[in-house]
Amino acid sequence: MTTDATAIPETADAPAFPMARTCPHLLPDGYAELRDGPVLRKVALFDGPAWIVTRHAEARALLGDNRLSAEKQHKGFPAYTPPERMPRPFKTLAEMDPPEHTVHRRMLIPAFAVRRIQEMRPFIQETVNGLIDAMEKGGPSADLVKDFAVHVPSMVICDVLDIPYEDREIFQRLSYRITQERTTLDDQQLKQALGEIFGYLGKVVEQQIKEPGPGLMGVLATERVAKGELEPRDMITLALVLLVAAQETTASTIANGTVCLLENPEQLAKLQADPDLWNNAIEEILRITSVSDLNTRRVAAADIEIAGEVIRAGEGVIIPNGLVNRDATVFDDPDVLDVTRSAKHHLAFGHGVHNCIGQSLARVELEIAFKTLFTRLPSLRLTADVADLPMSDSAGVQALTSLPIAWDPKEDVL
């Protein structure tokens, strides 16, 4: 397979991919043509073609098909940039196939069980309240990304992992650097940043092995590392992956969803009039923002016949959840935000064995974050044009890197 970016030119049959998103809640312009086209078609990546799936039913079927592999080291796995082709010293949970994936995922299930997540509600509420208190103290304006959105999931994952309280400021700084600042770093700076947080987590793991705490790290140390079922280095990798996955996706959904609600004031008014609609609204926000649009990629381990096409073994498959979550055969008026819509069958969290293990936690974080934000700051507004908001698709997540907001002072109603 060639690595010459000009070797697979864009054509009418194979448009260039990925396509940049310029709005937090609207699809890239090129998606309209993809959506109106066939269920499966080829797109042109920087080093070769791959299949793209444009419909919900076929996306769901393929995500549940064990003939598709998530292993990135396969030659045909669809990559977006040359660095993705470079060998790495570790493999994440999202890049494993069963049975390896099954073993590692099972280790994490207790920490993300629904009952455990519900027990975390008071802590999440306290976290959100504290962040809004700080914004109000420094207000009546703020950057919702830097002052709120990135900190909610980061502080919560600290609690899940049992990061020492005295270290949480260090952890926040390091995690912010490798998630939100990643696009501003050159290769050497990114390596240094990853090395710093990897080194820090190594010390935490070492301490948890000596004196296990009540959090996930302590459980893994006691039940897995001590029994020889998990290497300390793999425990570090699991912690790092949970950190990045939790922070980037949830923070981006908070920021992008806030823009979406402010751009649809009649829908926000419905939520403020009837708070019972928030659970519905969270699913609709997840559907319409689909921040992990570019992350769902696979490679065929065997031939797969679907929708009148044959995906050959070794060919890459991309399933953009932003595209399939706007399938008009599944969602009426799919480009319209409707907080009364029942959208639970969206694929924002994926489907099949790789469905997001932290989705219950994400839902609770989003519910508390949105509900509290718009209750305490009902006059919240943007102070920049949506078209001017800076966006990044680092790591496949459609993220705002800044979101300037303002509100009327002294309106806290809690």
Over residues 205-224, mean pLDDT:
85
Residue length of the chain: 414
Tell whether 21 is covered by a domain. no
Range of the domain at 362: 31-406
Residue 411: pLDDT band by 50, 70, 90 thresholds?
A: low
Asked whether residue 248 is domain-assigned, the answer is yes
Q: What is the pLDDT of residues 302-324, one digit of tens each?
A: 999 999 999 999 999 999 999 99
pLDDT in tens, 49-67: 999 999 999 999 999 999 9
For 179-208, letters b (16+ CB in 10 Å) and e give bbebeebeeeebeebbeebbebbeebbeeb
For residue 334, pLDDT beyond 90 = yes
Question: Residue 92, SS3?
Answer: coil
For residue 265, being part of any structural domain is answered with yes
All residues at 6 or more sequence positions from 194 whose CB lies less than 8 Å from its CB, including other chains: 178
- The torsion angles phi and psi of 310, rounded to 5 degrees, stand at -120, 115
Span 207-230, mean pLDDT?
A: 85
Q: If you average pLDDT over residues 144-157, what whole number do you get?
A: 91
Tens of pLDDT, residues 272-286? 999 999 999 999 999
The owner of tokens 């990925």 is 18
Q: What is the pLDDT of residue 410?
A: 73
Per-residue pLDDT, 193: 79
- Of 48-62, 128-142, 169-183, 368-382, the one with minimum mean pLDDT is 169-183
Report if residue 50 sits inside a domain.
Answer: yes
Q: 139: burial class by Cβ within 10 Å (0-12, 13-18, 19+)? A: middle
* Measured CA distances, 366 to 48, 112, 169, 369, 373 (Å): 38, 15, 22, 5, 10
The pLDDT, as a whole number, for residue 305 is 96
Average confidence (pLDDT) over 167-179? 73
pLDDT over 50 at 6, yes or no? no
The confidence score (pLDDT) of residue 370 equals 97
**What pLDDT is recorded for position 413?**
47
Does 414 score more than 60 pLDDT? no
Residue 412 lies in a domain: no
Question: Which CATH number does the domain housing residue 354 bear?
Answer: 1.10.630.10
Domain count, the chain: 1
* pLDDT value at 9 more than 70: no
376 found inside a domain: yes
What was the pLDDT predicted at 86?
A: 76
pLDDT tops 80 at residue 98: yes
pLDDT, residue 338, reads 96
Q: Which token pair is 166?
A: 């005295």
Q: Is the pLDDT of residue 154 over 90?
A: no
User: What is the distance between the alpha carbons of residues 346 and 351, in angstroms, rounded to a whole number?
Assistant: 9
Q: What mean pLDDT is predicted for residues 230-238?
A: 84
353 lies in a domain? yes
* Whole-angstrom distance, CA of residue 160 vs CA of residue 138: 29
Mean pLDDT, the chain, whole residue set: 87
305-309-310-315 Cα dihedral, nearest 10 degrees: -120
pLDDT of the residue at 152: 93
Owner of token pair 């923002």 = 289
51 part of a folded domain: yes
- Of all residues in the chain, what percent carry a pLDDT higher than 90? 52
Q: CA-CA distance, 27 to 156, in Å (whole number)?
A: 30
pLDDT, tens only, 100-136: 999 888 888 888 888 889 999 999 999 999 999 999 9
